[in-house]
C-alpha cells in the first residue's frame, strides 16, 4: 500500500489530555499490561499483513508548547514494525530524525532519535517565558528516547529521554543591566526517566568565569502541560554557591516563577567580574531570600544578608500600573553595620 497524506493542522491537545487528565492522581509508570485501565494498541489483521509506504506532510501542529510547522515524514510498515524518518520545524529550527515502533507479543516498543543544529535561543525564550533581551544560538542538540507499553498512553507515561547539547552562546541584555551578560555553555546533559523528574548538568562560562550547574525539575506531565514546574538548581562558580528552589510557571497576572534563594561564599571579592565590587574585598557573605515574578509585578524579600560583620534584611519590589507606570518599593533594616569594612567593597 502506498499513498500521500497532506494536512493543514494536526491538534495533539486531545492526545495529551487523554494521557494526563487535569484531575486525578499523578500518573505512575506502567511497565506491563493493565487490561482494566489500558486499551491494548493493535492494528486490524488486514492492516498488519500489509506492507505500507506513506508520505506525510503537516503544515502546523497545535496543542503542544512551542511553534511546530512543516512536518514531513515517510512511514514504512511491514512485518509488525513501523519506521518513521521525519523532519519538523520547531520555532524556526529544523529537527530531523527517526522513530521506530515494534511489537513483541502484546507490548509495543518505541525508540526515537532526533538531532538539530543552529537553534535561535531568543525565539525559544520568547515562546516559553515571554523573555525579551535574550539572543544567542545553540550549535547542536541530540535527543534520544525509548519506551514500552501496551497502549499509546502507556508509551508516553513510560518514556525515558536524554538530551545532549553542545556549544551554546547566549547573551542576556536586561533593561536594568549596565551591560549584556554573556553565557557560554560547553556541554549540557539532561535526562528525564519514566515516572520521575528531570535531572541535568551544565558546564561553561558566564562573564568569563567558569561555572557548573546541576538541575532537578518536574516530569513529563509538567513539561507537556506547560504548567507549574518544580525546580531545584545548584550553581558553583567564582567561589560562590547558589541554590534556587521553587516553582517555574508561565508569566501571568497572578502567576509566575516563585523561588527561594541562598547565596554564600568565603570571599566576596571573587565576585568582582559579576558585581563590579573590588576584587580585594575579603569578607565572607551569606544571603537567604525569596522572590516572585508575575507579568506586572515582582518582589524580592531578603530575609538575611550577612556581609562580613554587617547584617541586613529587607525587601524590594515593583508593580506596573494600568498605564504602564512603574511603582517601586524598598525597605532595609539592619542590626549591625561595619562601615569601615563595607567601604572596602569599592576600594
Q: pLDDT of the chain along its 347 residues, tens only?
A: 787 878 888 777 776 666 656 544 444 444 444 433 445 555 444 445 567 777 878 887 777 666 677 778 777 777 777 888 888 777 677 888 888 888 777 788 889 898 988 887 777 766 665 556 778 888 888 989 999 888 777 887 788 999 998 888 888 775 545 567 788 888 899 998 887 888 999 999 887 788 999 999 887 777 666 667 888 999 998 889 999 999 888 788 888 889 999 999 999 999 887 788 899 999 999 999 999 998 888 999 999 999 999 999 999 999 888 887 888 999 999 989 999 999 888 87
Phi/psi of residue 38, nearest 5 degrees: -120, 135
pLDDT score of 26: 47
The CA-based angle 286-287-292, given to 5 degrees, is 165
pLDDT score of 284: 95
Cα dihedral 133, 138, 142, 145 in deg (nearest 10): 0
Strand residue runs (E) in 79-180: 81-90, 93-104, 107-120, 134-149, 160-172
Taking CA atoms, 163 is separated from 62, 120, 190, 230, 329, in Å, by 23, 17, 5, 19, 42
pLDDT score of 246: 92
pLDDT score of 46: 44
User: Could you tell me the pTM of the whole model?
Assistant: 0.65
pLDDT score of 323: 82
> Rounded CA gap, 23 and 115, in Å?
34
The three-state secondary structure class of 202 is: strand
pLDDT score of 49: 57
The CA-based angle 187-230-18, given to 5 degrees, is 100
Amino acid at each position: 500500500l502506498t499513498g500521500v497524506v497532506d494536512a493543514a493542522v494536526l491538534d495533539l491537545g486531545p492526545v495529551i489530555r487523554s494521557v494526563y487528565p487535569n484531575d486525578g492522581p499523578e500518573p505512575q509508570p506502567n511497565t506491563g499490561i493493565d487490561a482494566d485501565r489500558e486499551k491494548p494498541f493493535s492494528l486490524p489483521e488486514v492492516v498488519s499483513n500489509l506492507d505500507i509506504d506513506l508520505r506525510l506532510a503537516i503544515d502546523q501542529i497545535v496543542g503542544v508548547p512551542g511553534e511546530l510547522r512543516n512536518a514531513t515524514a515517510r512511514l514504512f510498515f511491514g512485518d509488525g514494525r513501523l519506521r518513521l524518518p521525519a523532519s519538523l520545524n520547531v520555532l524556526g529550527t529544523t529537527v530531523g530524525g527517526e522513530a521506530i515502533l515494534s511489537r513483541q507479543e502484546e507490548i509495543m516498543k518505541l525508540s526515537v532519535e532526533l538531532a538539530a543544529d543552529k537553534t535561535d535561543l531568543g525565539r525559544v525564550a520568547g515562546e516559553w517565558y515571554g523573555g525579551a533581551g535574550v539572543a544567542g544560538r545553540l550549535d547542536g542538540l541530540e535527543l534520544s528516547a525509548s519506551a514500552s507499553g501496551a497502549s499509546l498512553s502507556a508509551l508516553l507515561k513510560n518514556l525515558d529521554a536524554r538530551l545532549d547539547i553542545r556549544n551554546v552562546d547566549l547573551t542576556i541584555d536586561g533593561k536594568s543591566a549596565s551591560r549584556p551578560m554573556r553565557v557560554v555553555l560547553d556541554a549540557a546533559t539532561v535526562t528525564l526517566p519514566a515516572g520521575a523528574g528531570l535531572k541535568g548538568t551544565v558546564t561553561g562560562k558566564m562573564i568569563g568565569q567558569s561555572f557548573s550547574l546541576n538541575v532537578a525539575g518536574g516530569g513529563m506531565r509538567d513539561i507537556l502541560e506547560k504548567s507549574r514546574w518544580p525546580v531545584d538548581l545548584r550553581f558553583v562558580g567564582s567561589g560562590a554557591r547558589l541554590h534556587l528552589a521553587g516553582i517555574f510557571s508561565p508569566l501571568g497576572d497572578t502567576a509566575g516563577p516563585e523561588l527561594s534563594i541562598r547565596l554564600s561564599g568565603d570571599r566576596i571579592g571573587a565576585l568582582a567580574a559579576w558585581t563590579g565590587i573590588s576584587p580585594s574585598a575579603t569578607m565572607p557573605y551569606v544571603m537567604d531570600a525569596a522572590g516572585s515574578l508575575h507579568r506586572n509585578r515582582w518582589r524580592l524579600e531578603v530575609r538575611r544578608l550577612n556581609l562580613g560583620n554587617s547584617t541586613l534584611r529587607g525587601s524590594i519590589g515593583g508593580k506596573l500600573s494600568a498605564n504602564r507606570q512603574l511603582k517601586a518599593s524598598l525597605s532595609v533594616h539592619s542590626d549591625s553595620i561595619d562601615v569601615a569594612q563595607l567601604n572596602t567593597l569599592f576600594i
